[in-house]
Amino acid sequence: MNGFDVEASDEGVIAVPSYVNGVSRAVETYREIYSPRFNEHQGTPVESWRYNYVKRILDASMALVLMMAFAIPGLLIALAIALTSEGSVFYREVRIGRNRRPFRIWKFRSMHGHNSRARSRVREQEIGVELSYRTKKTQHDPRVTVVGRFLRRWSLDEIPQIINVLRGEMSLIGPRPIVEAETHFYSDLLPFYLAATPGLSGLWQVSGRSDVDYPRRAELDACYVMDWTLRKDIEILMRTIPAVLAKTGAR
């Protein structure tokens, strides 16, 4: 299937990149080799000059092109958000980046404004509710606005993350950025996530997104880090547009 295999899931049938098949066995092997001193190892693909320099140049160049391409659509989206709900047009949240360096991610606000403010003073029990929404997203999250539902369906709420790419905090392709509270879901696979720059798109997005459970998501991130090449980045990038148009796993 053009580099992708079809797999069954509780949500239906999803397409998974062929080279990800057998990822569990590969992850176990790399766990033995790299864990728990993964960051001391300098021979992984994400430590190469291609990853750190060539990939960065390509990211910055493409981000500039995308910023110009989405300038007018971005203004229209901002206007729609401002006219239909109270609160800021943008939503910023601290995420965990490469080498555990925190950064603020930019998104178009897709939830009601008071929920965004409440999260800044959230209590411990509310964190559990928030994580439940993150890990088990539903089609009818009551916190999402009408415009926000449309933006999420087509992944348009993530357009402002082009800013993060330009600043070097994110890449076009990589593991999806997570919050600190999500790190425990990765268990001993966390060093693989921390070794790479978070991305706008990645294996998770083209493999079913929210239809993929968290253990599988962690394995996909580990697989990406272990087997990174520019060619695979291009392959994932080319698969991102069809995945968005098909609204695969969109919540």
Note the pLDDT tens digit of each residue in 26-56: 556 555 555 554 555 456 799 999 999 999 9
Tell me the residue length of the chain. Answer: 251
DSSP string covering 5-46: EEEEETTEEEEEEGGGTTHHHHHHHHHHHHSSSGGG---SGG
- Residue 81: helix, strand or coil by DSSP? helix
Residue 219: burial class (beta carbons within 10 Å; 0-12, 13-18, 19+): buried
Distance CA 192, CA 199 (A): 14
* CB-based burial, 121-157: b 16+ in 10 Å, e otherwise: eeeeeeeeebeeebeebeeeeeebbebbbebbeebbb
157 or 1, higher pLDDT: 157
Widest distance between CA atoms in the chain:
54
pLDDT given at position 241? 87
The arithmetic mean of pLDDT across residues 184-189, rounded, is 90
Q: What is the pLDDT of residues 112-134, one digit of tens each?
A: 875 444 444 444 444 454 555 56
pLDDT band at 84 (very low <50, low <70, confident <90, very high): very high
Instruction: Count CA atoms within 13 Å of residue 197 on its CB side.
Output: 22
Of all residues in the chain, what percent carry a pLDDT higher than 90?
54
Q: CB of 21 within 8 A of CB of 30?
A: no
Q: Please tell me the pTM assigned to this model.
A: 0.78
Q: For residue 213, give the DSSP letter.
A: -
Quick one: how far is CA 242 from the chain centroid? 16
